[in-house]
Chain A
Amino acid sequence: GAGVSQSPRYKVAKRGQDVALRCDPISGHVSLFWYQQALGQGPEFLTYFQNEAQLDKSGLPSDRFFAERPEGSVSTLKIQRTQQEDSAVYLCASSLAGWAQHFGDGTRLSIL
């Protein structure tokens, strides 16, 4: 596609529910990243994939956060037993190795 696509754009969930956020990267981009952006802050790294391999998950805040990219293309970020502090914008980015990252518009997650 023309750019990185994320869905849904907005997600509202009750505390304790599980959520799944989807990212469709630019076709052919081997690298895929997830970031979390709190209001008024810069994005913070969560995890990184090269093709289907998750090479860095050092930014995942807890074991409630899980990401996968089973076929090396679409990725899903799952958050289990959501808490209010999980409310943020979740950004996905993709890139060719060693080049600039291209970002989607993000999913704005609100936990009530």
Chain B
Amino acid sequence: SQQGEEDPQALSIQEGENATMNCSYKTSINNLQWYRQNSGRGLVHLILIRSNEREKHSGRLRVTLDTSKKSSSLLITASRAADTASYFCATDVQGAQKLVFGQGTRLTINP
């Protein structure tokens, strides 16, 4: 079973616009990670935010974490056609090494 839910399930925007995806989870975590998956490929790690952090930036990516609401958001600024992919949040449940993934957001960037 999956721990988290991502919202929206699908998002379609124009190139150059910003894309925001949200993730909610259920249990206490050590950290939360975001991954990207292109069709037919494996997952690529984007960014990791630890439970004691509230915001983190990496290039055009901005991630926030609200542990009181058990939620996170991923913002991609100035989107490009190459950003078209599925995006997953994943949490590592405290006391375990495994990652628990949400169902993902399918992002389409229209040129």
Contact = CB atoms under 8 A, between A and B. Distances in A.
Contact of A42 (B41, B96, B98, B101): B101
A100 B45 contact: yes
B33 interface: yes
Contacts of B88: 42-43
Interface string B67-103: 0000000000000000000001010000011111111
A103 B100 contact: no
B88 to A, nearest CB: 5
Given A42-B104, A100-B48, A4 B42 contact: yes
Interface residues of A, number: 25
Contacts of B96: 56
Contact of A44 (B2, B33, B43): B2
A102 B96 CA distance: 17
A100 B97 contact: no
Nearest to B47: A100
Interface residues of B, number: 22
Q: Which of B43, B44, B103 has the largest number of chain A CB atoms within 10 A?
A: B43
Nearest to B100: A45
Contact of B102 (A4, A40, A42, A101): A42
B97 A103 contact: no
Nearest to A46: B98
Given A91-B43, A103-B42, A59 B97 contact: no
A25 interface: no
Interface of A: 4, 31, 33, 35, 40-45, 48, 50, 55-56, 59, 91, 93, 100-106, 108
Interface of B: 1-2, 33, 35, 40-45, 48, 88, 90, 96-104
27 contacts: A31-B97, A33-B97, A33-B98, A40-B103, A41-B2, A41-B103, A41-B104, A42-B90, A42-B101, A42-B103, A42-B104, A43-B88, A43-B101, A44-B1, A45-B99, A45-B100, A56-B97, A56-B98, A93-B43, A100-B45, A101-B45, A101-B99, A102-B45, A103-B35, A103-B44, A105-B40, A105-B42
